Amino acid sequence: MADHITIRKADGTWSVRAGGAVLGESTNALELSEGDYPPVIYFPRSDIAMAFLDKTDKVTHCPHKGDASYFSVVTKSQTLENTVWSYEAPKEGVARIKDHLAFYTSEGVAVEKI
């Protein structure tokens, strides 16, 4: 793993909401810290209501984590494009984030410790 990336179990219970709907809640979330960036909470896919997510064609590359796939969140009132990402085949040093999802927070998406 790159020296500037740390992954640990996120303390407590975490939730993610979008468009007024609770997309998931987890006591098994991971917190990834990378350099000077704010920590990111990664939720196990099994704790997220995948019916709200539509996979998109967007892919980005991180030299430390690998290729990220993206999903849009679809609610009754809106579609939040490419708001969710996942490293489906992460590099060996960050393998713990496989089968996890992270969310960009915005006015429409909230990730909170509850």
In eight-state DSSP terms, residue 99 is T
- Which segments within 1-114 are labelled E, that is strand? 5-9, 14-18, 21-26, 30-34, 40-44, 53-62, 66-74, 79-86, 100-103, 109-113
- Tens digit of pLDDT for each residue in 61-78? 999 999 999 999 998 888
Number of domains in the chain: 1
- What is the residue range of 107's domain? 5-113
d(CA 97, CA 86): 8
Q: What is the pLDDT of residue 76?
A: 84
- Tens digit of pLDDT for each residue in 17-68? 998 889 999 999 999 999 899 999 999 999 999 999 999 999 999 999 999 9
CATH number at residue 31: 2.170.150.40
Assess whether pLDDT exceeds 80 at residue 98. Answer: yes
Query: 102, exposed or middle or buried, with CB in 10 Å at 0-12, 13-18, 19+?
Result: buried
